[in-house]
Amino acid sequence: MKKIPMTAIGLEQLKKELIHLKTVERPAVVQAIGEARALGDLSENAEYHAAREKQSFIEGRIQELEGKISYAEVIDVTRLKGRKEVMFGATVTLIDEETEKETTYRIVGEEEADIKAGLISVTSPLAKALISKTEGQNIEVPAPGGEKYYEIVKVDYH
């Protein structure tokens, strides 16, 4: 498997989730299974089956997180401070040329992308259009409703 690029913050979030699953969620579901078993007949015990299903989900997520963490390649964006062109880890402020609306996004790894938080995946069409561009340049981004046009107002690494 190839390395998974991510920011230090993104890696830290994955590690926190993994610790939470192992120290809180896993023991709670084991206890729930034990309590459901104590109720008797397991074939008609909805609590038991629900707890087993949750346990399966938790164990799968733990394995997934451990894999992602082991293949994580942390990109130190502080080393990029002062760079003028957009790269992984950049925080980019854009103006939509049609609506004049200003928006700020940070380009991150796929595993940490969250559009509501302004974090876009490096593999997204917008990020691909931004990579290697500089402040003042205009970009064209393919979108379901037709092309979108933006102007890059600011590029920052923090």
Q: Which of 123, 130, 107, 110 is nearest to 4 (CA)?
A: 110
Distances from the Cα of 134 to the Cα of 15, 82, 107, angstroms: 33, 12, 14
Q: What's the CATH fold of domain 77-156?
A: Chitinase A; domain 3 (3.10.50)
Distances from the Cα of 14 to the Cα of 53, 65, 125, 136, angstroms: 22, 7, 24, 35
Q: Please give the share of the chain, as a percent, with pLDDT higher than 90.
A: 70
Q: What is the per-residue pLDDT across 16-74, written as a single tens digit (0 to 9) for each? A: 999 999 999 999 999 999 988 887 777 778 888 899 999 999 999 999 999 999 999 99
pLDDT at 1: 66
Our CA angle for 57, 63, 66, nearest 5°, is 135
CATH for 4-74, options being 2.40.160.210, 3.30.9.10, 2.60.120.200, 1.10.287.180: 1.10.287.180
- Look at the chain and count its residues: 158
